[in-house]
Structure 1
Amino acid sequence: MAIIDARTLPDASHLEADLVIIGGGLAGITLAKELAGGPLKVVVLESGGREMEPETQALYAGACVQKADGNKDRPLHEFPVQSRVRALGGSGHVWGGKCGPLDPADFAERAWIPYSGWPISREAMQPYYDRACDMLEIDRFPPERPNAAEASLQPLALDARDGFFPAPRLFARISGRTDRPAFDRFRTQFAEAPNIDVYLYANVVRIRRERNTITGLDIACLDGKRHKAKATRYVLATGGIENVRLLLASDNLGNRHDLVGRFFQGHVTYSNDSDAQREGSAFAASRAEPLDLYAPALRYGPHCVIGAGLAAQKRMKTGNFTATLFRANFANADAKVAAETQTISKASAQLDKGQAQPNLLGFFAMTEHFPHPESRITLDQSQKDALGMPRVNLTWVHGKKDYDDLERSIDGLAAAMGAAGEGRLCWSLRRDELLASSNASRHHMGTTRMHADPRKGVVDADGRLHEANNLYVAGSSVFPTSGIVNPTLTILALTIRLADHLKSEKKAA
Structure 2
Amino acid sequence: MLHDTPDHASLTALDVDLTVVGGGPVGLIAALAARARGARVLVLESGLQARSAAIQSHLDDTVLTPDTHHDGPITSARRLGGAGHLWGGRCVPYDPIDFVPRPWLPGCGAGWPLAAAELEPWLAPALEYLGAGAAVFESQLPGDLAGRIARPNADGTPSGFVADRLERWTNDPRIDRRHRDQIAGDPDLHVALGCTVTGAQIVDGRVTALKLWTEADARVADLPAREVILAGGGVATTRLLLAIQAENPALLGGPDGPLGRHYMGHLNGQIADIVIDDAAFHGLFDYFRDAHGSYVRRRIAPTDRLQSEAALSNVAFWPVVPEIAQADHRSGPLSAVFLGLSMPWLGPRLIAEAIRRKHIGPPPYRRAAHLRNLVGDPVGTLGFVPRFLWQRFGARARVPGFFLQNPARRYGLEFHAEHLPDPESRITLDPTRRDRTGLPHARIDFRFAPADTAPILRAHAALDAWLRERGLGRLIYRYGPDVPERGILVEAKHGNHQIGTARMGRTAAEGVVDPQCQCFGLDNLHIASTAVLPTSSQANPTLSAVQLALRLVDTLARRDATWKG
- The interval holding the TM-score normalised by the smaller chain is 0.7 to 0.9
What is the Cα deviation at residue 400 of structure 1? 1.6
In 2, Cα distance between equivalents of 1:23 and 1:193: 18
Contact 1:459 1:473 in 2 (8 A): yes
| Equivalent in the alignment of 1:173 | 171
- Residue 279 of structure 2 aligns to a residue whose secondary structure is coil
* Secondary structure of 1:313 counterpart: helix
* Equivalent residue, structure 2, for 1:324: 318
User: Deviation at 1:16?
Assistant: 4.6
> CA-atom RMSD, angstroms?
2.9
Q: Which residue identity does 1:282 align to in structure 2?
A: D
Q: Is the 8 A contact 1:158 1:416 kept in 2?
A: no
Tell me what 1:503 maps to.
557
What are the superposed Cα offsets for residues 92-114 of structure 1, whole Å, 9 maximum, x if unpaired? Answer: 11211111111111111111123
Provide the rounded CA distance (Å) in 1 between the counterparts of 2:7 and 2:507: 44
The residue aligned with 1:284 is 275
Residue pair 1:207, 1:246 contacting (<8 A) in 2 also: no
1:323 aligned counterpart, secondary structure:
strand
C-alpha spacing 1:114/1:194, structure 2 compared with 1 (3 Å): same
Identity of aligned residues (%): 26
**1:301-450, aligned counterparts within 5 Å?**
301-328=295-322, 330=329, 332=331, 359-429=409-479, 430=483, 431-440=485-494, 442-450=496-504
**Which residue of structure 2 aligns with residue 224 of structure 1?**
218
Cα deviation 1:207-235 (Å, max 9, x = unaligned): 11023111111101245243322222111
Partner Cα distance (1:38, 1:434) in 2: 46
Q: Give the aligned partner of residue 44 of structure 2.
A: 45
Letter aligned with residue 165 of structure 1: V
**C-alpha separation in 2, matches of 1:211 and 1:400:** 44
What is residue 28 of structure 1 aligned with on the other side? 27
Q: Measure how far apart 1:362 and its partner are.
A: 1.7
Distance in 1 (CA, whole Å) between partners of 2:135 and 2:411 is 26
SS at match of 1:209: strand
Q: Could you tell me how far apart the structure 2 residues matched to 1:436 and 1:386 are? A: 35
How far off is 1:288 after superposition? 2.2
SS of equivalent to 2:521: coil
Q: Is the 8 A contact 1:100 1:169 kept in 2?
A: yes
Helix, strand or coil for the counterpart of 2:431? strand
- How many residue pairs get aligned? The number is 466
TM-score scaled by structure 1?
Answer: 0.84
User: C-alpha distance in 2, partners of 1:297/1:508?
Assistant: 46
SS in 2 for 1:373: coil
Answer whether contact 1:418 1:424 (CA < 8 A) is retained: yes
Offset at 1:8?
4.4
- Provide the residue aligned with 1:350 in structure 2: none
113-122 or 241-250, larger mean C-alpha shift: 113-122
Asked if 1:209 is matched to 2:202, the reply is yes
Name the one with the larger helix percent: 2
Give the Å deviation of 1:301.
4.6
* Structure 1 residue 7 displacement after superposition: 4.2
Alpha-carbon distance between aligned partners in 1 of 2:276 and 2:408, rounded to the nearest angstrom = 5
Within the candidate set 92, 95, 98, 1:100 is matched to 92
Partner amino acid, structure 1, of 2:547? A
What is the CA–CA distance in structure 1 between the aligned matches of 2:63 and 2:78, rounded to whole Å?
A: 18
8 Å CA contact 2:245, 2:252 repeated in 1: no
User: Any idea what SS the aligned residue of 1:17 has?
Assistant: coil
Q: Cα offset for 1:170?
A: 1.5
CA displacement at 1:500 relative to structure 2? 0.8
> Which secondary structure does the structure 2 equivalent of 1:129 belong to?
helix
SS at match of 2:191: strand
**1:135 is matched with which residue: 123, 129, 136?**
129
SS of the counterpart of 1:205? strand
Aligned to 1:346: none
**Residue 351 of structure 1 corresponds to which residue in structure 2?**
none
Distance 1:121 1:110, change over 3 A: same
Deviation string 1:64-90 (CA, Å, 9 cap, x unpaired) is 244xxxxxx8264x5222100111111
Please tell me whether the aligned partners of residues 253 and 509 of structure 2 are also in contact (alpha carbons under 8 angstroms): no
Per-residue deviation, residues 446-504 of structure 1 (Å, max 9, x unmatched) = 11111122211110011000121111011110100001221111111111111111111
Q: Which amino acid in 1 is paired with 2:25?
A: L
Distance 1:314 1:38 in 2: 42
Q: Structure 2: how far apart are the matches of 1:40 and 1:133?
A: 22
What letter is aligned with 2:166? P
One of 230, 240, 244 as aligned partner of 2:238: 244
TM (norm. structure 2) is 0.76
Q: State whether residues 21 and 228 of structure 2, in contact with CA within 8 Å, keep that contact through their aligned partners in structure 1.
A: yes
User: Does 1:294 pair with 2:309?
Assistant: no
CA distance in 2, matches of 1:470, 1:124: 22
Other structure's SS at 1:322 match: strand
Distance 2:179 2:148 in 1: 38
2:338 is matched with none
* Separation in structure 2 between the aligned mates of residue 459 and residue 159 of structure 1, nearest angstrom: 43
- Judged with a 3 Å threshold, the aligned counterparts in structure 2 of structure 1 residues 503 and 456 are, in CA distance, closer, same or farther, namely same
Partner of 1:87: 79
Task: Give 1:206 shift.
Answer: 0.8
CA distance in 2, matches of 1:81, 1:147: 41
1:192 counterpart (180, 185, 188): 185
CA distance in 2, matches of 1:99, 1:11: 37
CA contact (8 A) 1:14 1:229 kept: no
Correspondence for 2:350: none
User: Is the Cα contact below 8 Å between 2:528 and 2:546 reproduced in 1?
Assistant: no
Cα distance between partner residues in 2 of 1:162 and 1:65: 43
Residues in 2 aligned to 1:385 and 1:373: alpha-carbon distance in whole angstroms = 26
> Aligned residue for 2:347?
none
Offset at 1:48? 0.6
- Structure 1, 300-309 or 130-139: larger mean CA deviation: 300-309
1:285 partner amino acid: I
Q: Deviations over 1:271-325 (max 9, x none)?
A: 25xxxxxxxx211112123633223489x95211111232111011121011121
Corresponding residue of 1:164: 161
* Counterpart Cα distance in 2 of 1:312 and 1:187: 45
Q: Which runs of 5+ in 1 are unaligned?
A: 67-72, 177-181, 273-280, 338-356
CA contact (8 A) 1:45 1:203 kept: yes
Partner SS for 1:217? strand
- Cα distance change, pair 187–402 in 1 and its aligned pair in 2 (3 A): farther
Give, in whole Å, the separation in 2 of the partners of 1:293 and 1:229: 54
After superposition, the Cα gap between the structure-2 partners of 1:424 and 1:50, relative to the gap in structure 1 and judged at 3 Å, is same
**Residues in 2 aligned to 1:505 and 1:159: alpha-carbon distance in whole angstroms:** 50
> In structure 1, what residue type is equivalent to 2:449?
G
The CA deviation string for residues 186-207 of structure 1, in whole angstroms up to 9 with x for no partner, is 2562353232211110111111
